Amino acid sequence: MNKTAVLGLMVALLLPIIGYLIIDGLTSHAVVMPRHYIYDSVTTRTVDGKQVTDTAWHRLPDFNFKNQLGQRVGWEDIGAKVTVANFFFTRCPTICPQLMINTKQLQDGIKSSEKTGNRFPDFIQFLSFSVDPERDSVPQLKKWADRFQINPENWWLLTGDKKEIYDLSIENMKLGLVDGEGIDTGFFHTDYMVLIDRNRNIRGYYHGLDTVAVAQLSRDIILLALEKDPQRKKFFEGKFQMFAVLFLLTLAGLAALFLILKKEKKSHGITGKK
């Protein structure tokens, strides 16, 4: 083994560690992830003499509603996906049609550019909850879905118990909804789109009629899709010092081997001359 070979082995061992450090540094510090909203509690504890604050972020409750295909669905059917939720009703003559158009463009845009090669983006789910569930039956939702060519693969229009829907919006998502108590179709509702991560924590509010806000939502969806699961330990977490020691021992072993081979080669050279 010559000097060049030893150096080559050293570089081969060093490059993966350098690459890991660069990638981990970029993903941890350079990118600003969407912030959390709404917490249930904050506790403080002492770790190694330092105060550490733990925040329990509000987790959206389970639901069990029917979608435009008549299927009963809930969070368990969504799984580990990033979710975008909004609220609408099919008799709405004002903001709802444009809200649906913008959501459709968002769905199509992610499908065509962010996940090239996939027919459907398997990391995102869209939920549109009817705020007029008494009139928005499954057939009515299906008509609305057909009108806007909504793909049910990852976008559900949902109807169900009115109190549960309003509690989800007002109490859990902190969105303002005012029931019109049958006063035609002009009662107030929200145009907000709500970004929800895999843990059912709210990570952003975006005006669904604002194209700039929707573009920001599109970028934030991708960031959350790439976000590391805080519950899942990194492969190198707690092991990096061990890897560093092993690496140094490997370098020392290679250096010792190089010196031994060099000494033997020199010894053979002297013997050959005699």
What is the rounded average pLDDT of the residues 128-134?
A: 94
Q: What is the percent of the chain where pLDDT is above 70?
A: 64
Please state the rounded mean pLDDT for residues 250-262: 66
Entry pTM: 0.70
- Tell me how far apart the alpha carbons of residues 131 and 139 are, in angstroms, rounded to a whole number: 16
Q: What is the mean pLDDT of the chain?
A: 80
Q: The tokens of 1 are what? A: 């083994």
Is the pLDDT reported for residue 219 higher than 80? yes
Q: Which one-letter DSSP state was computed for residue 59?
A: B
pLDDT for residue 49: 86
Q: Which of 12-16, 79-83, 119-123, 173-177 has the lowest mean pLDDT?
A: 12-16
Summarised one tens digit per residue, pLDDT across range 12-49 is 555 555 655 555 555 555 678 999 999 999 999 888 88
Give residue 235's pLDDT: 47
Where are any strands of DSSP class E within the chain? Answer: 39-47, 50-57, 65-66, 72-73, 82-88, 124-130, 155-158, 192-196, 202-207
Residue 103 has pLDDT above 50, yes or no: yes
Count helices and strands in the chain by DSSP H and E runs: 7, 9
b (16+ CB within 10 A) / e for 133-165: beebeeebbbebbeebebeeebbbbbbbeeebb
What backbone phi and psi angles, to 5 degrees, belong to 98?
A: -70, -35
Which is higher by pLDDT, 252 or 230?
Answer: 252
> What is the tens place of the pLDDT at every residue in 194-211?
999 999 999 999 999 999
From 3-7, 167-171, 214-218, the region with the lowest mean pLDDT: 3-7
